[in-house]
Amino acid sequence: MRNFLYAICVLLLVSCYSQHKPKKPKNLLSKEQMVDIIIGVSLYNSAKGVNKKVLERNGVKLQEHIYKKHKIDSAQFADSNYYYTYHPEVYEEIYNIVRDSLKKLKEKHTAIDKEESKLKRKKDSIKRAKLKSMP
């Protein structure tokens, strides 16, 4: 049954496939803008996965914030994203930059976490030593 559903989905996708590449939108986002936005969306999705209830409770709408930050709307992003999907070589460049940037961010934050953990252990050991030395 599952294979049958997959086959139906593939057939629907193939039948809907358009041979015409979309025209370049007037308000096409540059590769650099796409990189920044996709990084923001990736971080948003990560934050939402970890702190969804906190974000909802405080009324934080990160996706809207990303659009405001870049002075775009969701339609402009969708049009640009659609255009770039028909240019896989450019899209691959964009995603390679995104992947590398996210990797660097992760390494940076991992190093910060390690340093904070090291400082906390040092403070804790000093605190324990002070408590032991008290009469």
- Residue carrying the six token digits 């809907």: 16
Lowest mean pLDDT among 13-17, 29-33, 65-69: 13-17
d(CA 135, CA 111): 39
**pLDDT band at residue 71 under the 50/70/90 scheme:** very high
d(CA 50, CA 128): 33
- Residue carrying the six token digits 């969708």: 78
Nearest CA to 81 out of 30, 130, 118, 16 is that of 30
Is 13 a residue whose pLDDT tops 90? no
Position 93 scores a pLDDT of 95
d(CA 130, CA 115): 23
Position 135 scores a pLDDT of 66
| Mean local confidence (pLDDT), 66-87 | 91
Query: How much is the pTM?
Result: 0.67
**pLDDT band at residue 31 under the 50/70/90 scheme:** very high
Lowest mean pLDDT among 21-30, 77-86, 126-135: 126-135
